[in-house]
Structure 1
Amino acid sequence: MAYNFRHRSQRVRYEETRDGESDSNSSDLEYSTLIETPRGNGRGRGRGRGRRINRQREREHSLKRRQDNVTRWANRGGRSHRIARRNIVLDSEESNERNNNLEMETAPSSINQEPLPTTTSGISSSQKARRTKKTILSWLTDCRKVEDGDLVNYLTERSGPVTGRINNGAIMCNCCDKEVSVWNFERHNKSDRKQPYKHIQVYRDPELCSLQESLIGAWQKDEEQKRRAMFTYVPKNINVEEPVCLICGNGGEGEYICCHNCPSVYHTSCVNMEGVPYKNWLCHYCICKYCGVGGVSQHLSTCCQCNKKFHWACLQLQDRNCPSLYCGPSCKEIYEKLEGLLGIQNDIDERYSWRVVHKVDTIPGVVPVDENLRMEINAKVAVTWMLMNEVFETIIDQQTGINVVQSVVYSCGSNLRRVNFSRFYTFVIEKDDEMIGAASIRFHGKEIVEMPFIATDEAYRGKGICRLLMGIIESFMCDLKVKNLIIPSNVETTEMWKVKYNFDVVNNKVLKKNISSYNMLMFPRAIRLYKDFFNRKLVDMNAEPDQEI
């Protein structure tokens, strides 16, 4: 990056840093010649003036040599904090003799920015400018796979590739001196490969690797593997462990009933039962959805979309052409629609785009069709967690101790049905590859869809991003002819959901009965709201933004 400075007559003094080391190619003796010493009178005006001119030239020459060393380190991809181990203290006076501009190249971190005036909200403009963008590069920085200041370039066959440096979740491009996304950085190199993570190389002295290799390394870190690992529940003594109802999410007092085939627990009132039956009882996920018969002796298949079980013979009576992976044509349509959109960018306008993300597992021995897309989708899942973790307080399940928001974002599975979140997808809104809004969605066929979490990045609240995201989700569901969208709301936001987004409290007995047959996320003291797309007005995405979530 180039900066223009007014030329000054400078007194230069070097101070040792804490480690006392030097990265300069100059020796300590050469540094000592730059230390300002008292000037002698000399034997004559001419000789004294000559010595002053020589000392001035020596200072300028040595300072230029120092700047060249900095530039060479920067071009070699050296780390910014290694560029200058000695601090240059400039005690400058304006020179009346020379007014020409001096163009000077320096490392991005070698110039300290002064704090800007504080705004009325109490947050300084500089803090807002330095806000971490929710991008894949930000995630890689958090995983310590890359760092701000690392030199990058695009691997291309043409000469003179465009270079840049990683800065605040983006790339500071040298050709335009602006922060751009990895996709725009690829366009700056006039490439149409559409594989920026594969062809952008990162220089971390002495290492050289592609961004794709960094993605793989970050996704395989122990911390990331723990976040997406399946939770295995081991049932304990019912007298020791407090049960939690799968439907209402509440524990404590009440009459409970346990499924004979799985560890799911329900309030008898939540499943519309007057008391505990004497015979073995099976929940809705352990019986055939068509005939209602289940048990260990039954050969039941499981739908890969809704997780409901069914007899193959019962499915054939409903639809002979439906594959055995699904319990019916509606689940087949939903699954194929979601998987077909996975990771694909859909432009809304010239500013915003949206896409669907979901954790894509690697099957041993099977090579994915598009490895680049798979890694980018998984990285987007990790970025979604960065956004959700910043917006929501930590929600810990009282029975299992898992982080609920994290498990939903990473679509973590479990043998305990209540905390099995493997079928959650995330709809995200992006601005130039920066994630600014996200919503977690789970489909229970075409009758019911749930959305427990929706979030907007703090910097974009009040700009209509939540309304825009809701409009996209509702349009997607209307295309699939989904009937009801269910959300759990706290007391403070219930009225906002009613007025602004046309939701209503679930009081319909038929809808309550349908909800009781599905595994839906619910929180204590939350209010369950719904929106009937067949009878309610959809969100106007062009309306004026007001209160944001």
Structure 2
Amino acid sequence: MRGRITRTGIQCDCCFRVFALTAFEAHAGSTNHRPAANIILDDGSGRSLSDCQRQVHDSMMTIPTSAKKDDLNPHGSDDVCSACCDGGELICCDRCPSAFHVNCVGLKEVPDGDWFCPSCCCGICCIGTVSDDDNFLACQQCECKFHIGCLKLKESNELARKNNWFCSHSCENIFSGLRNLTGKPILVGNNLTWTLLKSKASSNGDGYTDCPDGLDSCAENNSKLNIALDVMHECFEPSKDSYTGRDLVEAVIFSQGSKLKRLNFKGFYIAVLEENDDLVSVATVRVHGDIVAEMSLVATRFSHRRRGMCRALVDELEKNLAKLGVQKLILPAVPAAVNTWVNGFGFSHMTGDERSKLLQYTLLDFQGSIMCQKPLKTEL
């Protein structure tokens, strides 16, 4: 279907009606639900409307990337969907800066009145509010929110001030298990060790950091994280968020926070595999309670590929997640690597219905990636 861009929408060449982006996509018979990514300019450049949006954002970004980007527009909303990272027609959460496509949050049309994204709604009554956070308790591990009234907890005011509250015993056990694993090398083969790391900057709210053994431990932890970042940069093209200009890989490795949920990476741990103290393979992992863990980035140094390093790294990660009771591991795979993850590692394609059941969790996704999943054999 062809059309002409106007100030009010896209005028169809066949019927001369003007449509909004999602309506034009439906008019064209497409069910991709990503109109901005699939509407291409007829100027020979091959640019999509999403590409144009990113170019506009890049031209407006004049503040150095080291600045606090979240403060650029503290009262505004995001310009891309928090679920699929694409632009277009978005609905904005009335509680946080996140924005979404209608289809990405399972809606058929824009709702009337105030609307709250799934992660801003109570995990029990599924209702959100524009009032302050004193009405909510957020789980330290899965970050799901609950109305204090829905929980029917005593001494709610005292509990609301705690940063290490857990919504379930499983979340508390996972939190403790990850904490006990962090910084302790595990022998997984001849001269191979597997270690779980986390940035010192990400305190868990109870005074705990990932360097309990002093400055030397902190220095070693930060050194390995910087090497892990180098491995990621060796394997991936630089990826900067179009809205904030942040290096996404660096933000994940160092567990940086953000007011934008899709850029809040505080919960990420870094799994590394070393051979004779040489860091050769890296994976980033975030655990959303016992339901699901996401492994968003995996990389192996070019000089160590085809030696089973990624296999050793992922196998040990899966084993430890299963011990913690995590049911499923998911990852966003680039199309060229989907067959490897499916045929070589036992993953399968995640359906839209399966993805919709995880809307309350903010998952790191990339444009054009395919979400894959793998059930983990948890210990009874």
* TM-score, length-scaled by structure 1: 0.51
| C-alpha contact 1:231 1:415 (8 A) present in aligned 2 | no
**For residues 503 and 369 of structure 1, do their structure 2 counterparts lie closer, same or farther at Cα, with a shift above 3 Å needed?**
closer
**For residues 227 and 424 of structure 1, do their structure 2 counterparts lie closer, same or farther at Cα, with a shift above 3 Å needed?**
farther
Aligned to 1:425: 269
- For 1:353, which of 179, 193, 204 is the aligned residue? 193
Aligned to 2:367: 524
Distance 1:380 1:496 in 2: 27
Tell me the percent identity: 30
Write out aligned runs for 1:314-463 (5 A). Answer: 314-315=150-151, 325-361=165-201, 369-371=212-214, 372-463=216-307
- For 1:308, which of 144, 161, 166 is the aligned residue? 144
Distance 1:270 1:233 in 2: 26
* Deviation larger for 265-274 or 372-381: 372-381
Distance 1:429 1:228 in 2: 29
Aligned to 1:285: 119
| C-alpha contact 1:233 1:415 (8 A) present in aligned 2 | no
Code of the residue aligned with 1:303 in structure 2: it is: C
Aligned to 2:6: none
Aligned to 1:245: 81
Code of the residue aligned with 1:327 in structure 2: it is: C
- SS where residue 105 of structure 2 aligns? coil
CA RMSD of aligned residues (A): 2.9
- SS where residue 296 of structure 2 aligns? strand
Q: CA deviation at 1:482?
A: 1.5
| C-alpha contact 1:491 1:526 (8 A) present in aligned 2 | yes
Distance 2:280 2:66 in 1: 22
Aligned to 2:334: 490
Distance 1:228 1:475 in 2: 37
Distance 1:228 1:501 in 2: 37
Q: CA deviation at 1:500?
A: 0.5
| C-alpha contact 2:78 2:98 (8 A) present in aligned 1 | no
Code of the residue aligned with 1:530 in structure 2: it is: Q
Aligned to 1:140: none
Aligned to 1:194: none
Distance 1:330 1:391 in 2: 35
Write out aligned runs for 1:91-240 (5 A). Answer: 231-235=69-73
Write out aligned runs for 1:536-547 (5 A). Answer: none
Aligned to 1:46: none
Deviations 1:12-35 (A, max 9, x none): xxxxxxxxxxxxxxxxxxxxxxxx
Is 1:473 equivalent to 2:339 in the alignment?
no
Q: CA deviation at 1:492?
A: 1.0
Decide which structure has the larger Cα Rg and report it.
Answer: 1
**For residues 370 and 230 of structure 1, do their structure 2 counterparts lie closer, same or farther at Cα, with a shift above 3 Å needed?**
farther
- SS where residue 401 of structure 1 aligns? coil
Distance 1:483 1:230 in 2: 36
Deviations 1:458-485 (A, max 9, x none): 2211110011111101111211222221
**For residues 383 and 273 of structure 1, do their structure 2 counterparts lie closer, same or farther at Cα, with a shift above 3 Å needed?**
same
Aligned to 2:97: 263
Code of the residue aligned with 1:374 in structure 2: it is: C
| C-alpha contact 1:408 1:421 (8 A) present in aligned 2 | yes
- SS where residue 348 of structure 1 aligns? strand
Deviations 1:492-521 (A, max 9, x none): 111111111111111161x22222221111
**For residues 340 and 327 of structure 1, do their structure 2 counterparts lie closer, same or farther at Cα, with a shift above 3 Å needed?**
same
Q: CA deviation at 1:534?
A: 5.0
* TM-score, length-scaled by structure 2: 0.72
Could you tell me which runs of 5 or more consecutive residues in structure 2 were left unpaired when the two chains were aligned. 1-63
| C-alpha contact 2:82 2:362 (8 A) present in aligned 1 | yes
Tell me the number of residue pairs that the alignment of Structure 1 and Structure 2 aligns.
301
Of the two structures, which has the highest relative contact order with CA contacts closer than 8 Å and spacing of 6 or more? 2
Distance 1:424 1:401 in 2: 20
- For 2:108, which of 259, 269, 274 is the aligned residue? 274
- SS where residue 106 of structure 2 aligns? coil
Distance 2:98 2:302 in 1: 37
Q: CA deviation at 1:233?
A: 4.4
- For 2:356, which of 505, 513, 524 is the aligned residue? 513
Deviations 1:122-153 (A, max 9, x none): xxxxxxxxxxxxxxxxxxxxxxxxxxxxxxxx
Distance 1:389 1:339 in 2: 27
Distance 2:95 2:364 in 1: 21
**For residues 228 and 349 of structure 1, do their structure 2 counterparts lie closer, same or farther at Cα, with a shift above 3 Å needed?**
farther
Distance 1:508 1:280 in 2: 26
Q: CA deviation at 1:272?
A: 0.7
Code of the residue aligned with 1:398 in structure 2: it is: S
Q: CA deviation at 1:228?
A: 8.9
Distance 1:408 1:228 in 2: 15
**For residues 315 and 360 of structure 1, do their structure 2 counterparts lie closer, same or farther at Cα, with a shift above 3 Å needed?**
farther
**For residues 350 and 316 of structure 1, do their structure 2 counterparts lie closer, same or farther at Cα, with a shift above 3 Å needed?**
farther
| C-alpha contact 2:174 2:325 (8 A) present in aligned 1 | no
Q: CA deviation at 1:327?
A: 2.2
- SS where residue 373 of structure 2 aligns? strand
Deviations 1:259-285 (A, max 9, x none): 001100011101111111111011122
Could you tell me which runs of 5 or more consecutive residues in structure 1 were left unpaired when the two chains were aligned. 1-225, 536-549
